[in-house]
Structure 1
């Protein structure tokens, strides 16, 4: 899941002072009631020129709504203060969700410029709300007597979250500190966008253009055909490989040309430092120092201490202990994994130590030797359309959901498809968008997001509009889109997030769907990954795209047998990201040292290869510098502990067991952030999880 910039609740409502006036805002397609099916976003009607006027109009409405709440002369109540705040800003949410989602999935230089202009203005109004003394006073009155109001669990959570939101955003600061808080938050909103734009620019600016067929040695037919198509799209002869994931990974796994692998690796690993204009090093320094200043203003020693208040982990010490314990368990295994791959490389004529640009190449060959299994062997059985249907059918078995494509629902790009989603009672529960393929205006990776969250208005349910965005391998002129098993797993992961949004059943926008603690949000996604290893599910859809032959049982068995291949290495690599994140956000004095030196020091304990000079990881680490995972990347591993324990219930009762699925839906998926996540988890599982389940699942308890 990716947290889209400034997806709005009442705490991120905004005011604009510099957007140009729209001479006829009533005709702006972003405003008013949409005439599209189910009032879905009218993508086909929106022009770039519509956004700034729409922001200004929507902000005016939001400002009036918030001022009405703050100026209310009646005694503050849950209804006229807390609930009213949660309901405010609906028009602004609508505009912002469309704009910032498209700025991630289908942007261009004009849209990026609008984002740079609008974001600090939006940040200003967010501060106008959070630092509004009259408004906070009303919220505090309700908060102080919350236990005497007869509120249900969801209402009580909303009161507490609202109050903490004000406090964490400076409501208790003095006048001077409030002024500085405003300035810092404005700068941070600008810097996060700049970081993301820089990464996208450096990803798109590099191509590896090959014209000699000898340079294609080792590459698969699918990879070369895709590269030829990319070259054709760019009006070039020969073959073009890019830093987009499908192209980059295929080249690193299969190219026999070590020099070209190194060239591509260096381009990928210097994103954010290659060009002076798009260098992210000073952007990072400013971000972490401003985040530290934010924490200090609010009375915390570090930014991690500030954020971890509202996490299951609760404190930086607990997170660091968790990561350290996993590292102790996995690093010896990881060292053996690297030695095993290096020994294989030496047996096959390689001299010296393998470097990072050798790892994917030799580990893939060893995997094929050990298990007679490779991506190219599996891909013919994982045609995208069939995988999608397989995932749809899985959710039918688990939750009774069915899907119907609706071509009348507008989409923003030709590859995007919209579906109506129905429950077992044939009631419409969501609209689902799928955007599968890479393009130049699209960020890297895969994520789930929403254009509208599920909530209730006047007791009536409002269905959510949920989207999954990926960068899967494109179809070519001779082949449909064929996925690697890793991409199948990624699809399942993001669809788990989508289920969290689509099966939400709450009242308040700020508590529904994925509005949960950061270290809980990955449970619904990561538990879905388990089905990628289940023969019963694979048998439902995996057939050879040419012959129609069902995926052989022996091949499925090899997938299962290889699931913990290099598990030590994979665990340490993931831990390195979490440890790096915690290092950046645990500083207690402003960072003055060289950014790359700090990175190397923070990741030293997880390094399994020699450091490559003049490369960096953090300068393209969008999750923590341009997304919502600051001091939270550990949550992927934290959630693995939860999902390993939770999936054991499906293993015990059957992977399609409706009773188990219903319990998971009722106690986890539908609840959003309405209660503390550990309460929800224990209600489903009957116990708190331990790290043992994860170690067993990864095979780290036996090695």
Structure 2
């Protein structure tokens, strides 16, 4: 790869103009390319597909910038402009999928003399045209176009309501007893003697983990579980109805059937089977550990008969501290944010043969965003941005966003990690999350050297994309790995025996955590396969069926469940991917997680290929066999 220049981002004052020019310029380029292809299709089959690829590059360039800036830019006007740009891009993409003249050009390509990659491009293009409804009559195609526009607008409204609905509780300092001292120091009482605590993660997670006062934990749980209520209840009903009609017009029984067709799992009914299988596998472990929580709660509240939602994080921490000698407040003293961030770069650089070099020439959209050029064998292969702290109007969860999708010889892959971590000490769970999300960034960059834009980066089936990130979490649990960066303020390295106890303590609760994941997966599937007049009541029923913990009265968790937009009916993906991640990790030597041979084989056979092969093939190429449930089942049974 020649040394290509990364995308030059604008200063804040120029961001609005730059965003519009970038998105509309690429969109105009795509329009022109479509007109050219329809007016004078090349006679050479490969030339037709290369022209099709150019259209895809232009669309990716426009949509990547718009989707990122709508979630992270500090100026509301820029976020709004990005939302507007996404609407124009989505409308064009919908038109593209319904364009019969264009479809006939692509369908007429004789692929018999093309290589496997080009044939795969052609196969995916025809599949996507069919799934867009290009073969339907004029009336249906018109309605599908309208539905696509309404679905995008509804999804944007849903996400915006979550971003902008930051709730808070106000409590006395005494009601925050048990919180770490550095956290308390950062949250002084106001003139009225009360402390304001928000539902943003750096506030809500420590409160729900360490606050000794049950009323404080309950108030925070209620506030967090009501974000987006009541506005998003109506929005979700509209979104589910639009998706159901969309799937029906294309001949599918449910949205889940439509969505699963292009995933590893294949069908909506297979999702239900998977949820039930995992529910059964985790039943024993979940019951055992929930009983441990209840017995510990009864020491404080002898009349208690159930573990409530506000109890779970708190008593899980208590059990780990008392029964496994792991004190979360002691553990966090080894995880200063700046050390963790650098340690993550050092670990992944060593593991994958990469160098993360500060990009001094990069312009960023907020002062606390860091940027690095990614070097392999001394050559730049990409650029990353780390946007890791909360601010007003920013995306509230943790995710990797594309900025540029890589194209061989044309543009280097650039990705952005968007999280909401504290600037001081981190919980170890946050460290694990950082490793997980960074795994997506590594996948985006390493998989970005592709000729075909559709295969660039994290371009495998969607229910596989979490597996590489879930596997990278394992490095955040290894004593030798943590010893490279986990140090106290006095410079003392985290003790290996403490890490071992942390691993043992982490095993506690995996059963009921798995059941919680199945509860979320059931919501995701059920809301996309049946109509419910009262979503809260149905959520309550599903919680009773799958979760180990009862519904918290007068809460509406679904209205802040952002995955109902992005993942749709496919939240099962997280556990499906974990099955594969556990199997892939079994190929590594737990005594030396930096062993180069297996790490390089994994890098080159799973990450570097991007979407050029089906995920099952990538995994079998790495493992030398098809993946199984064995490693996952053994882990769950511990």
TM exceeds 0.5? yes
Change (3 A) 1:197 1:140: same
Asked if 1:342 corresponds to 2:305, the answer is: no
Asked if 1:84 corresponds to 2:51, the answer is: yes
Using the alignment, how far apart are the partners of 2:58 and 2:627 within structure 1? 41
Asked if 1:669 corresponds to 2:607, the answer is: yes
Matching residue within 624, 632, 637 for 1:686: 624
Change (3 A) 1:354 1:638: closer
Change (3 A) 1:84 1:237: farther
By how many angstroms is 1:115 displaced? 4.6
Q: Which residue in the other structure is 1:600 paired with?
A: 540
Change (3 A) 1:506 1:552: same
Using the alignment, how far apart are the partners of 2:515 and 2:474 within structure 1? 20
TM-score, length of structure 1 as denominator length: 0.86
Change (3 A) 1:642 1:289: same
After superposition, residues 191-210 of structure 1 pair within 5 angstroms as 191-202=154-165, 204=166, 206-210=167-171
Asked if 1:487 corresponds to 2:440, the answer is: no
Size of the aligned set, in residue pairs, is 633
After superposition, residues 119-268 of structure 1 pair within 5 angstroms as 119-142=86-109, 145-146=110-111, 148-152=112-116, 154-202=117-165, 204=166, 206-210=167-171, 212-228=172-188, 239-268=195-224
| Native 8 Å contact 1:224 1:239 kept in 2 | no
After superposition, residues 93-108 of structure 1 pair within 5 angstroms as 93-108=60-75
Q: Which residue in the other structure is 2:81 paired with?
A: 114
After superposition, residues 109-508 of structure 1 pair within 5 angstroms as 109-142=76-109, 145-146=110-111, 148-152=112-116, 154-202=117-165, 204=166, 206-210=167-171, 212-228=172-188, 239-274=195-230, 279-352=231-304, 353-423=306-376, 425-456=377-408, 460=409, 462-474=411-423, 481-504=424-447, 505-508=449-452
By how many angstroms is 1:351 displaced? 3.2
SS at match of 1:227: coil
Using the alignment, how far apart are the partners of 1:269 and 1:108 within structure 2? 27
By how many angstroms is 1:394 displaced? 1.7
SS at match of 1:46: helix
Change (3 A) 1:324 1:89: closer
Using the alignment, how far apart are the partners of 1:96 and 1:236 within structure 2? 47
TM-score, length of structure 2 as denominator length: 0.95
Using the alignment, how far apart are the partners of 1:40 and 1:331 within structure 2? 52
Matching residue within 552, 563, 576 for 1:612: 552
Change (3 A) 1:236 1:126: farther
Asked if 1:513 corresponds to 2:457, the answer is: yes
Q: What 5-or-longer segments of structure 1 have no aligned partner?
A: 1-35, 475-480
Change (3 A) 1:400 1:469: same
By how many angstroms is 1:74 displaced? 4.1
Change (3 A) 1:550 1:244: same
Q: Which residue in the other structure is 1:22 paired with?
A: none
Using the alignment, how far apart are the partners of 1:177 and 1:607 within structure 2? 40
Q: CA RMSD in A?
A: 2.1
Deviation digits for residues 632-671 of structure 1, max 9, x if unmatched? 2111111111111111111268311111111111111011
Change (3 A) 1:667 1:692: same
Q: Which residue in the other structure is 1:648 paired with?
A: 586
Using the alignment, how far apart are the partners of 1:100 and 1:222 within structure 2? 35
By how many angstroms is 1:177 displaced? 0.2
Using the alignment, how far apart are the partners of 1:172 and 1:541 within structure 2? 57
Change (3 A) 1:175 1:218: same
| Native 8 Å contact 1:432 1:466 kept in 2 | yes
Q: Which residue in the other structure is 1:8 paired with?
A: none
Change (3 A) 1:354 1:188: same
| Native 8 Å contact 2:431 2:476 kept in 1 | yes
Deviation digits for residues 208-244 of structure 1, max 9, x if unmatched? 233x33222222212212323xx78xx9975321101
Q: Which residue in the other structure is 1:525 paired with?
A: 469
Deviation digits for residues 574-613 of structure 1, max 9, x if unmatched? 11111211112223xxx25212122223343113223223
Q: Which residue in the other structure is 1:550 paired with?
A: 493
By how many angstroms is 1:553 displaced? 2.0
Change (3 A) 1:661 1:653: farther
Asked if 1:636 corresponds to 2:603, the answer is: no
SS at match of 1:404: strand
Change (3 A) 1:122 1:605: same
Deviation digits for residues 518-538 of structure 1, max 9, x if unmatched? 111112111100111211111
Which structure 1 residue ranges, 4+ long, deviate > 6 Å from structure 2?
Answer: none
Deviation digits for residues 57-109 of structure 1, max 9, x if unmatched? 443222111111121154472322x2212212645543432232021123554
Using the alignment, how far apart are the partners of 1:118 and 1:461 within structure 2? 24
